[in-house]
Amino acid sequence: MGEKNFLKYLDLNSNERIRVHISVINGKVADVVVQYETYMNGKWEGIVRYDCAHGFFHRDVMYPDGEKEKQVIEFDNLETALTYAEQDLKDRWEFYKNRYLKKLKND
Protein backbone atom coordinates (compact mmCIF):
# COMPACT_ATOMS: atom_id res chain seq x y z
CA MET A 1 0.00 0.00 0.00
CA GLY A 2 1.32 3.43 -0.93
CA GLU A 3 0.28 6.74 0.47
CA LYS A 4 0.71 10.27 -0.83
CA ASN A 5 0.11 13.49 1.07
CA PHE A 6 0.51 16.92 -0.46
CA LEU A 7 -0.74 20.50 -0.38
CA LYS A 8 -1.85 22.73 -3.25
CA TYR A 9 -2.01 26.46 -2.52
CA LEU A 10 -4.83 28.39 -4.16
CA ASP A 11 -3.73 31.99 -3.67
CA LEU A 12 -0.54 34.06 -3.76
CA ASN A 13 -0.58 34.65 0.01
CA SER A 14 -0.73 30.90 0.79
CA ASN A 15 -3.80 31.44 2.99
CA GLU A 16 -5.97 29.06 0.96
CA ARG A 17 -4.99 25.45 0.29
CA ILE A 18 -6.18 22.01 -0.66
CA ARG A 19 -4.81 19.17 1.45
CA VAL A 20 -4.77 15.81 -0.33
CA HIS A 21 -4.27 12.29 1.04
CA ILE A 22 -4.34 9.30 -1.33
CA SER A 23 -3.95 5.62 -0.42
CA VAL A 24 -3.17 3.18 -3.24
CA ILE A 25 -3.43 -0.60 -3.08
CA ASN A 26 -2.26 -2.75 -5.99
CA GLY A 27 -2.08 0.31 -8.24
CA LYS A 28 -5.65 1.44 -7.54
CA VAL A 29 -6.83 4.35 -5.43
CA ALA A 30 -8.33 2.81 -2.28
CA ASP A 31 -8.96 5.92 -0.14
CA VAL A 32 -8.93 9.68 -0.62
CA VAL A 33 -9.28 12.81 1.46
CA VAL A 34 -9.37 16.16 -0.34
CA GLN A 35 -9.95 19.12 1.95
CA TYR A 36 -10.13 22.86 1.30
CA GLU A 37 -8.66 24.81 4.22
CA THR A 38 -8.30 28.51 4.92
CA TYR A 39 -5.90 30.15 7.36
CA MET A 40 -7.74 32.33 9.85
CA ASN A 41 -7.31 33.31 13.46
CA GLY A 42 -3.85 31.74 13.57
CA LYS A 43 -4.86 28.25 12.42
CA TRP A 44 -5.99 26.22 9.41
CA GLU A 45 -9.77 25.76 9.29
CA GLY A 46 -11.32 22.96 7.23
CA ILE A 47 -14.15 24.34 5.10
CA VAL A 48 -15.04 21.51 2.69
CA ARG A 49 -13.84 17.90 2.69
CA TYR A 50 -14.32 15.04 0.28
CA ASP A 51 -13.56 11.57 1.65
CA CYS A 52 -14.59 7.92 1.87
CA ALA A 53 -15.21 7.77 5.60
CA HIS A 54 -18.35 5.85 6.54
CA GLY A 55 -17.78 3.52 3.56
CA PHE A 56 -18.88 5.87 0.76
CA PHE A 57 -17.55 8.89 -1.14
CA HIS A 58 -19.11 12.15 0.02
CA ARG A 59 -18.63 15.86 0.58
CA ASP A 60 -18.73 17.40 4.05
CA VAL A 61 -19.34 21.14 4.20
CA MET A 62 -18.17 22.35 7.60
CA TYR A 63 -19.62 25.30 9.48
CA PRO A 64 -18.07 27.47 12.22
CA ASP A 65 -20.35 26.01 14.89
CA GLY A 66 -19.05 22.48 14.20
CA GLU A 67 -22.06 21.38 12.17
CA LYS A 68 -21.44 19.42 8.95
CA GLU A 69 -23.58 19.07 5.87
CA LYS A 70 -22.98 15.67 4.22
CA GLN A 71 -23.76 14.93 0.58
CA VAL A 72 -23.22 11.50 -1.01
CA ILE A 73 -21.56 11.70 -4.43
CA GLU A 74 -21.50 8.57 -6.57
CA PHE A 75 -18.70 7.68 -8.98
CA ASP A 76 -17.67 4.42 -10.64
CA ASN A 77 -14.17 4.66 -9.18
CA LEU A 78 -12.11 6.71 -6.74
CA GLU A 79 -9.75 7.99 -9.45
CA THR A 80 -12.66 9.89 -11.02
CA ALA A 81 -13.91 10.98 -7.59
CA LEU A 82 -10.45 12.33 -6.71
CA THR A 83 -10.28 14.36 -9.93
CA TYR A 84 -13.78 15.72 -9.34
CA ALA A 85 -13.04 16.71 -5.74
CA GLU A 86 -9.83 18.55 -6.59
CA GLN A 87 -11.42 20.40 -9.51
CA ASP A 88 -14.50 21.39 -7.50
CA LEU A 89 -12.37 22.87 -4.73
CA LYS A 90 -10.11 24.72 -7.18
CA ASP A 91 -13.12 26.16 -9.00
CA ARG A 92 -15.35 26.95 -6.01
CA TRP A 93 -13.10 27.65 -3.01
CA GLU A 94 -14.10 31.32 -2.93
CA PHE A 95 -17.79 30.38 -2.87
CA TYR A 96 -17.21 27.89 -0.05
CA LYS A 97 -15.15 30.41 1.94
CA ASN A 98 -17.72 33.19 1.55
CA ARG A 99 -20.50 30.88 2.71
CA TYR A 100 -18.42 29.89 5.76
CA LEU A 101 -17.64 33.54 6.60
CA LYS A 102 -21.29 34.53 6.20
CA LYS A 103 -22.29 31.77 8.62
CA LEU A 104 -19.54 32.91 11.01
CA LYS A 105 -20.97 36.45 11.05
CA ASN A 106 -24.49 35.18 11.72
CA ASP A 107 -23.51 32.97 14.66
CA angle centred on 85, ends 79 and 86, rounded to 5°: 95
Beta strands, E only, 11-42: 16-25, 28-40
pLDDT at 104: 83
User: What pLDDT tens digit does each residue of the chain (107 aa) get?
Assistant: 799 999 999 988 899 999 999 999 998 999 999 999 999 999 999 999 999 988 899 999 999 988 999 999 999 999 999 999 999 999 999 999 999 999 888 76
pLDDT at 107: 65
